[in-house]
Amino acid sequence: MLELSSVTKRYAHKTVLHTISCRIDAGQCFWLVGRNGAGKTTLINILADLIAPDSGVVNFGGLRYEDDELAIKRNLGVLPDKNPAIPQLTGWEYLQFVGLLHELQTDECLRRVKSLVEYFFDETDDAYKRIGTYSHGMTKKIGLCAALLHRPQYLILDEPFAGLDPVSAAKLVRFLQSYLSPERCIFLSSHDLGYAQKIMTHIGILEGGTLQFVGSAEEFASSKHTLEESILQILQPQESNIQELNWLL
């Protein structure tokens, strides 16, 4: 179980997150959706302990970062928005380095790295190239492999489909559907409605610093509207006047 209680974060005088509360039980995939700038990455960075909230509590199965940071991080896999992979290392070297940090046995680490690379990379030779030469999608894939190497119970993914080709994205969907077991939680931020809806069990819509909707996919589903229409109804986009672009059109 992953729980956020009254999480608030301000930057200068702007409150980006205002008393956010939600609970994701084991076996659930929570999809966080919202506009650019809504605060999704800020929330994910708080969950991953990359930044601290101004107030509020994050707890993972009853553990908090203040008291049990290591215990939480042993069970946590994170693909952040800005992948921290080391550009001077090859993908293979980087994954071995991450395996060392998780204190994996050498043989076991090699076995895991090999199978992850074979699943996520079309050309396994790419794993022997320096990360600094990788495309956006390849960097995402190496970040995903790194997040998964220690078989985390909690998986937090910020825009995992961004930059992936359709074949790789379909593989990732299939993988995440299989990875979600009764003991695990996935927290997913994605603008890709099509992919996200194949995985999510629950949805949270972030707008104006608060969660405007939190609930199960069934609660959100409407017989009258598509998922996209229902999300747009909550986000209520302002009408943009295309005539403004007449000079261009």
Report in angstroms the alpha-carbon separations of 5 from 53, 60, 221.
11, 12, 26
Shortest distance, position 186 Cβ to ligand ADP, whole Å:
18
Residue number, 39 or 143, with CB nearest to ligand ADP? 39
CA distance 180 to 28: 7
Binding site for ligand ADP (CB under 6 A): 11, 16, 34, 36-42
Residue number, 33 or 113, with CB nearest to ligand ADP? 33
Shortest distance, position 105 Cβ to ligand ADP, whole Å:
37
What are the percentages of helix, strand and coil residues in the chain, rounded to 5?
40, 25, 35
Shortest distance, position 116 Cβ to ligand ADP, whole Å:
26
Per-residue tokens: 65:
């970062």
Shortest distance, position 38 Cβ to ligand ADP, whole Å:
4
Question: SS3 for 17?
Answer: strand
Residue 58 burial by Cβ neighbours in a 10 Å radius (0-12, 13-18, 19+): buried
Residue number, 185 or 206, with CB nearest to ligand ADP? 206
The two most distant CA atoms of the chain are separated, in Å, by 63
Residue number, 49 or 68, with CB nearest to ligand ADP? 49
Burial 222-231 (b: 16+ CB within 10 A, else e): eeeeebeebb
Shortest distance, position 10 Cβ to ligand ADP, whole Å:
9
CA distance 45 to 81: 9
What is the amino acid identity at position 212?
Answer: Q
Residue number, 39 or 99, with CB nearest to ligand ADP? 39
CA distance 33 to 220: 13
Residue number, 34 or 160, with CB nearest to ligand ADP? 34
Residue number, 40 or 202, with CB nearest to ligand ADP? 40
Shortest distance, position 235 Cβ to ligand ADP, whole Å:
12
Shortest distance, position 37 Cβ to ligand ADP, whole Å:
4
Question: Directed axis angle between helix 106-120 and helix 136-148, to 10°?
Answer: 140
